[in-house]
Amino acid sequence: MRRFADLLPAPPTPSAWGTPQPEDAPTAAAPLRDATKTTRPSATPDGETLREHQELSRLARVVAQSAFEVLTGGRTATQMRRWLDGPVLERLRERSELAMREVATQRMNRTITVRRSRICRITNDIFEASVAVQCHDRHRAAALRLERRRGQWKVSALELG
């Protein structure tokens, strides 16, 4: 049977960084940064931040599902104009045209289900999201970059896998 003391981490050993220096002696390098002090937002968001994350997660899920519907012919690309920037919308339109040519204009009726989404704040006005989607018998992924412009969230980058 192991003792509890065996499970504890070993005490820190003195090193060149941890030895005290006389005040007038020159130091070899800057002291290490305290790992407990970070500039990242707190792990427990306040109510407003939580609502914003939920809103953006829902938006990312809707946009990803709608984008895959465009690729399968269930929706037109112009219906995405509200959420997508001009260049992103044009790329989606071109890709859907190519996909429809391959299917020989046969509309694919497939159920598209969002399985999971993750969102990460880059700045207060920029978030990135990843969404896992199931298209009939295939699992696919989408990556989105959401930017706040004039008070409205727009997708400035969209990658579909």
CA angle 62, 68, 74 (to 5 degrees): 100
What is the pLDDT at residue 76?
86
What Å distances lie between residue 122 and 28, 31, 126, CA to CA?
35, 28, 5
DSSP 9: P
The answer to whether position 22 is within a domain reads: no
What is the pLDDT at residue 49?
82
What Å distances lie between residue 6 and 9, 13, 22, 89, CA to CA?
8, 17, 36, 60
Helices marked H in the chain — which ranges? 4-7, 47-72, 86-102
What angle do the packed helices 47-72 and 86-102 form, to 10 degrees? 40
Other C-beta atoms closer than 10 Å to the C-beta of 119 total 21
The answer to whether position 24 is within a domain reads: no
The CA-based dihedral angle spanning residues 58, 59, 60, 64, taken in that order and rounded to the nearest 10 degrees? 110
Number of domains in the chain: 1
The answer to whether position 41 is within a domain reads: no
The answer to whether position 35 is within a domain reads: no
Q: The pTM is what?
A: 0.66
Which of 46, 66, 49, 67 has the alpha carbon at shortest distance from 120? 49
pLDDT digit string (tens) for 110-123? 688 899 999 999 99
Q: Which residue has the tokens 């969230």?
A: 153
Q: What is the pLDDT along the chain (161 residues), one digit of tens a residue?
A: 445 455 555 555 555 455 555 555 555 555 555 544 444 555 555 677 888 889 999 999 999 999 998 888 888 888 888 889 889 989 998 888 887 776 654 555 668 889 999 999 999 899 999 999 998 788 999 999 999 988 899 999 999 98
Which CATH number fits the domain that encloses residue 81?
Answer: 3.10.450.50
The answer to whether position 39 is within a domain reads: no
Exposure string over 35-67, b if 16+ CB within 10 A, otherwise e: eeeeeeeeeeeeeeeeebeeebbebbbebbbbb
Q: Note down the domain range covering 129.
A: 47-160
The answer to whether position 147 is within a domain reads: yes
The answer to whether position 29 is within a domain reads: no
Beta bridge partners of 112: 135
The answer to whether position 36 is within a domain reads: no
